[in-house]
């Protein structure tokens, strides 16, 4: 219960990685704000957290809209005085070769993945600075370190998240606040399921063959589990992780060695 007394806000907390992070942080003692666009999903996660004996608050939040971010963080401040731990997990993925990537698709991915992360960081920092303590964990992607076909916009947004993480970490390095990123490979989530279905529709491959394409991208030949990302998230949120700052840590089975 090393996070007892801390408030953690998880964006995109209704399913997949976000849900696992919210539950893991609750088990570590934090009270949890579960935030996402789909109210029914975050209400269900909030019930799971309360069943663990921890307080939970479900808040609708669309990181692509500044007013939504400002309102959600105001509600957290009004109820619990602000958040000590922020997990920026909200994100989208879409595939298109660069020659066919529309302005609309590019803008949507950047608005949610990169600008949304910036907005939430900026909204969380005043409380952290006032308390002289904080943890920000940005869920990026292995695509933030290495490119791949058909994901130019997504890879660019995640490279941007890593640049934002590294620079912002320097801004707060003397304030007992750390900012780090986690870079997973393909995780067993709806996003990976969508990638599998795209491969099937484009190539006519079977589901097993399409899944194997993703599995072959790591030396471990598997998809990763949301709980693996949650484990690292809780570790980075720990008071004992004070010396880990401005880092981008991979969960990729050795696919990218940097």
Task: Assign 3-class secondary structure to 116-170.
Answer: HHHHHHHHHHHHHHHHCCEEEEEECCHHHCCCCCCEHHHHHHHHHHHHHHHHHHH
User: Residue 88 pairs with which residues in a beta bridge?
Assistant: 138
Our answer to whether residue 258 is catalytic in this structure is: no
Identify the residue whose tokens are 């099937």: 200
**C-alpha span between 191 and 213 (Å, rounded):** 15
- H or E element, residue 14: none
* Pair 58, 31: CB distance under 8 Å: no
* Lookup: tokens for 155: 């890879």
Catalytic residues: 154
């Amino acid at each position: 219960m090393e996070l007892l007394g801390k408030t953690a806000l998880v964006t995109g907390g209704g399913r997949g990685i976000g849900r696992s992070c919210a539950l893991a942080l609750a088990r570590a003692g934090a009270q949890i704000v579960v935030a996402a666009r789909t109210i029914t999903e975050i209400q269900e996660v909030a019930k799971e957290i309360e069943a663990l004996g921890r307080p939970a608050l479900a808040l609708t939040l669309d990181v692509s809209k500044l007013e939504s971010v400002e309102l959600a963080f105001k509600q957290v401040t009004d109820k619990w005085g602000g958040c000590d731990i922020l997990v920026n997990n909200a994100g989208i993925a879409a595939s298109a070769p660069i020659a066919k990537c529309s302005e609309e698709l590019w803008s949507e991915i950047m608005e949610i993945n990169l600008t949304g992360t910036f907005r939430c960081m900026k909204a969380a920092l005043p409380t952290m600075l006032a308390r002289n303590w904080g943890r920000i964990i940005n869920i990026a992607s292995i695509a933030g370190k290495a490119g791949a076909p058909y994901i130019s916009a997504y890879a660019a947004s995640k490279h941007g998240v890593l640049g934002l993480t590294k620079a912002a970490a320097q801004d707060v390095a003397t304030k007992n606040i750390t900012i780090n990123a986690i870079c997973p490979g393909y995780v067993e989530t709806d996003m990976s399921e969508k990638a599998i279905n795209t491969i099937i529709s484009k190539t006519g491959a079977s589901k097993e063959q399409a899944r194997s394409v993703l599995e072959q991208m790591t030396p471990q030949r598997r998809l990763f589990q949301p709980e693996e990302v949650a484990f690292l998230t809780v570790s980075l949120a720990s008071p004992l992780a004070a010396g880990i700052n401005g880092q981008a840590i991979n969960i990729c089975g050795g696919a990218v060695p940097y």
